[in-house]
Amino acid sequence: MIRARWIQPPTDLPEVAKTYWKAHAQRLFAAERLSANNVEQFRQLCTWVAIARQAADEIARDGVTVALGGAAGAPESGGNKSNAAPRKSNPAVGILLSAQREAERLMGEFGLDDTEL
């Protein structure tokens, strides 16, 4: 079987997206779920996976809440409310949820499940 040129990951994808592409593209192509007609949707899926990973990494690094005013990594005061820096929800949480939702929608189009996210 001749391998189509478009089956290769686009060079401008982030590394995480390329890794996801390499892990799934050939298998999806062989199962006739990935073709030149839907490769752009697959590219979007890979991009959403990369965005979700980046947001998850940020949450792991900075926590679910961050210091108000963007001072990432500001120490918490160990429960002393009077000295605690004001905190807000980490914006990466919303980004993660949105990226997961979009990725899961696209995964369904390719017959993938969320364990492959």
Q: For every one of its 117 residues, what pLDDT tens digit does the chain have, with 9 covering 90 and above?
A: 556 788 899 999 999 999 999 999 999 999 999 999 999 999 999 999 999 999 999 999 999 999 987 555 445 444 555 567 899 999 999 999 999 999 999 999 999 987 766
How far apart CA 5 and CA 60 sit, in angstroms, is 37
- Stated pTM of the model: 0.80
How far apart CA 56 and CA 22 sit, in angstroms, is 21
Q: What residue spans define the domains of the chain?
A: 15-64+86-116
